[in-house]
Amino acid sequence: MSLDQLYQQIILDHSKQRHGSGLAGTTAPAGASTGQSHQLNPVCGDEVTLRLAVADGTVQQISWDGAGCSISMASASVLSELGEGMSVEELHSVIDNFREVLRSRGKVQADPEILGDAAAFEGVARYAARVKCAMISWVAAEDALNQATT
């Protein structure tokens, strides 16, 4: 396992060009129900606040603020890009799949058909100390999704 497999170019790119970043600059579409979740990893200080808007069973918008390592920031960016436009059920199932891959210690391969760009985080699964970095925004999204749909 080389460092380059952990830090794939797509991750480095997303850590700099962050899709969905900036809560203050976005407003949820009219009529959408929203959920917002703040997650903190006290070990490293990674922090994400993510807001998600749902209308007609579809995720309309995912925006977030965060501070943290390249893995955590890129992961939030990829999630935001990937999740927008998905149905609520689809996003739930993608989150479940992402979690399964990340927690598998490298045993479960990422399927780009399901995870899209998020498949690039497959390498993180082999770095136990970094799994939480990749997961933090996804945990926030799951929480926000539950809020928006109940």
How far is Cα 142 from Cα 38, in angstroms, rounded to an integer?
Answer: 11
The interface region with other proteins, picked from 29-37, 64-72, 77-85, 88-96 by CB under 8 A, is 64-72
Considering only residues 68 to 87 of the shown chain, the ones binding other proteins according to CB under 8 A are 68-71
Draw the binding track, 80-119, toward other proteins (x: CB under 8 A; -: no contact). ----------------------------------------
Task: Report the helix count and the strand count for the chain, using DSSP H and E.
Answer: 6, 3
Binder of other proteins out of 30, 31, 43, 150 (CB under 8 A) = 43
Rounded least distance, CB 12 to other proteins, Å:
6
Q: Which residues pair with 34 in a beta bridge?
A: 53
Q: Partners of 53 in the beta sheet?
A: 34, 61
Rg (CA), the chain: 14
Strands (E), 78-131: none
Closer of 92 and 126 to other proteins (Cβ): 126
